[in-house]
Amino acid sequence: MKNTVRTLIIFSFTLLISVSLFGQDDAREVFTRATDQMLTANMELVMEMEAKDKKGRIKEKGYEILMASFGDVDKTKMTWQKPVQAKGTTVIFTERPGEIGLIEVYTPSNGKIRKIKASPENKDMVGSEAMITSLTAQDPDELAFMFLPPQDVDGKSCHTVVVKDKDFKDQARGELLIEMDSYRVVQIAVFDMYGKQTSLVKLSDFQPVEGTRNKIQPRRIISEDLKNQKVTDIRVLKVAPRTDLSEEDFKLPVEGDM
């Protein structure tokens, strides 16, 4: 009898581990299949947006953006087109694994360049709402995955995939809603280390990307900053692959170049 109970316990424990690992692999597969459809690096974007703050004030912005990876270094270059008084202002984000990153800002009005750490506060200050691929561009090998119960969005069944840094034990995570039939990421909720939701991003109007095979990109992104009570409505006017980008393309202009 003792041997039978022991065998049953071992079998149940083994089955539990197998189910857990199976769920992990499934969630990772859904995430990978969804993000593989999207351009996340070596690309050019043109976008316009309206940002509404908690007092109802609206600011219009427009950017030309380049994004590329060079080895383990990720670079993003944003050049302001709107508003007129900010036209030509250029920001370069440089990020390396395990580092806080660097922000370089060029302002044509005075020809000066500032360098600051890429803290979350500084990113917000210089317009990081235009960087729309930060979560979906992460290396799956650095992440842990799991499923939550499915949800319906606009009448379509969606996987709920939890994504978090596998080395961190806090509650910081992203929760992605991914359509079961198309594998499109239609919603991303972000939670901080204490488990409090900080933002909600909704993606729609998916269109094929010219010059690629089977790549799609959302042309409408609505991002809600829950902490600061700000809603940003982004319209992607252009998206194109740029395999020709080099590090030279991510240098700031100098006075007289603009």
Section 47-68 average pLDDT: 94
Rounded CA-CA distance 150/152 in Å is 7
What are the domain boundaries of the chain? 2-37+135-237, 43-49+59-133+243-250
The model carries a pTM of: 0.80
Per residue in 122-172, pLDDT (tens digit) is: 777 776 666 655 556 567 788 899 999 999 999 999 999 999 988 777 888
**Helix spans in 87-206 (H):** 120-125
Residue 217 DSSP SS3:
strand
Rounded CA-CA distance 15/24 in Å is 14
Q: What is the pLDDT of residue 241?
A: 94
Superfamily of domain 2-37+135-237: Lipoprotein localisation LolA/LolB/LppX (2.50.20.10)
Per residue in 178-232, pLDDT (tens digit) is: 999 999 999 999 999 999 999 999 999 999 999 898 899 999 999 999 988 999 9
- Maximum distance among all alpha carbons in the chain? 87
**Helix spans in the chain (H):** 2-35, 120-125
Cβ count within 10 A of residue 153: 14
Q: Which residue shows structure tokens 């829950």?
A: 226
Tokens of 193: 């280390």
* pLDDT over 90 at 99, yes or no: no
Q: Is the peptide bond before 150 cis (omega within 30 degrees of 0)?
A: no
Rounded CA-CA distance 169/155 in Å is 35
